[in-house]
Structure 1
Amino acid sequence: MTPIPFSPWDMFLNAGPVVRCVMLLLGAASVLTWTIFVAKSAELLRMRVRLRAAENALEDANTLDLGEEWTRENTSIAHALVMAAETERHRSADIHDDGEGVKERIALHLERLEAAEGRRLLRGTGVLATIGATSPFIGLFGTVWGIMTSFTGIAASRATSLAVVAPGIAEALLATALGLVAAIPAVVIYNHLARQTAACRAQVADLTALVMRLVSRDLGRARMGQGRVVRLDARADNALAAAE
């Protein structure tokens, strides 16, 4: 009696069309999972390096203009944050207030940019969550369908020998195994990328705080300069009054 081959490849070839499609779908999901892992890991690593360099540049800058100059070559969101603050400050030049209104408008703009960057960093990870949540059920569907097919074949042939039942059940159970193979790495990789993304978002929040600090410095210097001008004008008026 010729032994029945039970290697995964042979079971895949001997499986029915529905179970085979399920296995192919789970294999594609597994390949997609590892592709996203490699691509997002490289992207987040580069992003963290750029954000760290931008953070150091803004930490050393003393004015917003210097911050704009030192982050000009940085491809992270840092330069966009500085330019947004600079643009809003120029647009508010004709509004006379104590500076709190300007800072509030800049903070709102930077908050929107920070939220958009967070959404961009999370792009692609939702696929991992979907794979991790649905792959076991897809594999279970393939298993149930394969077992149904096996029992239908048993009923048609009227053979109840274990040697007849075992190959079909083994091929069906392979779908569940592939579902777990696709789901477990997807969940682990999703959690890993979520932690890396949270670290990048924290760095973006630090950049926002640094930009707001530069804005506060510049506004403080502007108010100090206006105070000096007022005092000089008052002294000039007093001198003219004394001369008269």
Structure 2
Amino acid sequence: MTLDTLASTLSFAGDTGRLNPVKLFLDADIVVQAIMIGLILASIWVWTIIVTFMLRMGSVSRRCDDYEDGFWEAENFEAYQKDRRRGDVPMGKVAGAGLIEWRRNAATRSVDHEGARQRIAMAMNAAVGEEADKLAARLNFLATVGSVAPFVGLFGTVWGIMNSFFQIGQQQNSSLAVVAPGISEALFATAIGLFAAIPAVIAYNRFSHRVNMFEGRLQRFADKLHAALTRQLESR
């Protein structure tokens, strides 16, 4: 089905006053059409990120819940880490970083307790930051679309209005019937820009908050593990 056929299909019989988005797109200038296509593709990618992030965040939260419940009940943290094979869980990576550093310090003959505490904390803090960065990797695109898309749509509107005024000069007719269609097509670019930007801004704010909360949860887990590991070092 061609776009012309789709535009005819979407039109209501006998209702010529109703806006037809496909017709507005087809009648627009080539520059405005290119801008509209770019904004539509950006909107599709925004919604792809939204859906995938929600699914990923839900999966990560469930796996971390399961890991943490078993971790604090385990008698031996290293054995639990090895037996459960939880390297793909963010909490497992944080715990793994701390346990590796703890093992290195415990293997020395004379343990520098203060230095060991600092090294274990730094190792787990680095792991916490890495996991938070992985979760937030695609959120920058949402921020970019949210801030840029309205201006891109506005550029398409300005270009379309300029083209409409040019047509007025060519036809030497300033009738509203001549100007209105071109302006409507131009304003449609701004509407698409807002359609892409609004969900991007909302999703970015919401997801950034969730990433920050999750990072705080990892940090609290790291602090508890840090206290447990340093306690074991001091008892040696």
- Identify the TM-score tier after normalising by the shorter chain: 0.7 to 0.9
Aligned to 1:183: 197
How many Å separate the matches in 2 of 1:138 and 1:42?
A: 30
Measured after TM superposition, the shift of residue 47 of structure 1 is: 0.9
How many Å separate the matches in 2 of 1:156 and 1:43?
A: 55
Does the 8 A contact of 2:87 with 2:93 survive in 1?
A: no
Measured after TM superposition, the shift of residue 109 of structure 1 is: 1.0
Aligned to 1:146: 160
Aligned to 1:28: 41
Aligned to 2:60: 47
Change beyond 3 A, Cα 1:53–1:5 = closer
Aligned to 1:7: 20
How many Å separate the matches in 1 of 2:49 and 2:221?
A: 27
Task: Tell me, yes or no, if structure 1 residue 218 matches structure 2 residue 232.
Answer: yes
1:58-207 to 2 correspondence within 5 Å? 58-69=71-82, 71-73=84-86, 75-92=88-105, 93-97=107-111, 99-207=113-221
Moved more, 203-212 or 174-183: 203-212
How many Å separate the matches in 1 of 2:76 and 2:229?
A: 8
Does the 8 A contact of 2:151 with 2:193 survive in 1?
A: yes
Change beyond 3 A, Cα 1:69–1:171 = same
Does the 8 A contact of 1:57 with 1:70 survive in 2?
A: no
Q: Percent of aligned positions with the same letter in both sequences?
A: 35
Change beyond 3 A, Cα 1:62–1:209 = farther
Question: How many residue pairs align between the two structures?
Answer: 220
Moved more, 191-200 or 24-33: 191-200
Q: What is the root-mean-square deviation in Å for CA atoms of aligned residues?
A: 1.9
Measured after TM superposition, the shift of residue 83 of structure 1 is: 2.7
Q: Deviations over 1:170-196 (max 9, x none)?
A: 101111111111111110111111122
Give the secondary structure class of the aligned counterpart of 1:88.
helix
Measured after TM superposition, the shift of residue 118 of structure 1 is: 1.3
Q: Deviations over 1:84-103 (max 9, x none)?
A: 22322332222513523222
With structure 2 as the length reference, what TM-score do the two structures score?
0.86
Measured after TM superposition, the shift of residue 79 of structure 1 is: 2.5
Matched letter for residue 96 of structure 2: M
Does the 8 A contact of 2:94 with 2:222 survive in 1?
A: yes
Divergent runs of 4+, >3 A: 3-6
Greater RCO, 1 or 2 (C-alpha within 8 Å, sep 6+): 1
Give the secondary structure class of the aligned counterpart of 2:88.
coil
How many Å separate the matches in 2 of 1:45 and 1:70?
A: 24
How many Å separate the matches in 1 of 2:71 and 2:234?
A: 18
Measured after TM superposition, the shift of residue 207 of structure 1 is: 2.2
How many Å separate the matches in 1 of 2:78 and 2:165?
A: 76
- Name the larger-Rg structure: 1
